[in-house]
């Protein structure tokens, strides 16, 4: 994680620091994203959090994720044409998607490589680097 957010208190401080009013639902949504490495979809976030927060709606999750994106603390990955996956890691990194199992892995990127893209006067809030192929787990399964 780019940010060490292991308690609800530190998530609260982080959101306030980013100018976001830390409502209970926003805290829970960010906390879930921060502890989930699979880059969940709205559907996955809803399924997981609705168990704990029965009043939570998908609309609230969409609106919250939009707010997080506009604040630059979450990015929306469109590596898959059918769904958006959400990522709280704000350091520049690439994503590798496996054609076989559909897993999405974080891949480190040299900051100097990311800097090579000149945005001129535009204000950049997200940078995306997408790689696709067969993941190491699926490659191992083929070998054996």
| Residues 117, 104: Cα–Cα separation, whole Å | 23
**Binder among 87, 88, 96, 97 for Zn ion (CB under 5 A):** 87
The per-residue DSSP string of the chain comes to --S---SHHHHHHHHHHTT----HHHHHHHHHHHH-TT---HHHHHHHHHTT-TT--HHHHHHHHHHHHHTTS-EEEEEETTEEEEE---S-EEEEEETTT--EEEEE--HHHHHTS--TTS-------EEEE--HHHHHHHH-
Q: How many residues appear in the chain? A: 144
Of 35, 58, 100, 132, the residue at the interface with Zn ion (CB under 5 A) is: 100
Q: Which is nearer to Zn ion, 114 or 138 (CB)?
A: 138
In the complex, least distance from residue 107 CB atom to Zn ion, rounded to whole angstroms: 9
Q: In the complex, what is the shortest distance from the CB of residue 138 to Zn ion, in angstroms, rounded to a whole number?
A: 3
Task: Pick the binder of Zn ion from 5, 42, 92, 135 (CB under 5 A).
Answer: 135
CB nearer to Zn ion: give 22 or 40. 40
Among 53, 84, 89, 109, binds Zn ion (CB under 5 A): 89
Piece of 2-10, 22-30, 46-54, 103-111 that binds Zn ion (CB under 5 A):
103-111
Q: Does 106 bind Zn ion (CB under 5 A)?
A: yes
Q: Which two tokens stand for residue 85?
A: 């996956």
Give residues in contact with Zn ion (CB under 5 A). Answer: 87, 89, 98, 100-101, 106, 135, 138
């Amino acid at each position: 994680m780019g940010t060490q957010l292991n308690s609800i208190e530190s998530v609260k401080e982080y959101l306030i620091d980013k100018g976001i009013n830390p409502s209970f639902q926003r805290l829970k949504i960010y906390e879930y994203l921060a502890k989930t490495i699979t880059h969940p979809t709205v559907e996955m976030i809803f399924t997981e959090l609705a168990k704990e927060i029965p009043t939570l709606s998908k609309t609230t999750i969409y609106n919250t994720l939009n707010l997080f994106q506009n604040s630059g603390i979450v990015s929306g990955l469109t590596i898959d044409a059918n769904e958006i996956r959400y990522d709280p890691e704000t350091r520049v990194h690439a994503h590798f998607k496996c054609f076989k199992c559909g897993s999405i892995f974080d891949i480190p990127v040299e900051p100097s490589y990311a800097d090579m893209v000149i945005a001129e006067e535009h204000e950049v809030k997200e940078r995306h680097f997408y790689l696709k192929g067969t993941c190491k787990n699926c490659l191992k399964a083929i070998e054996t």
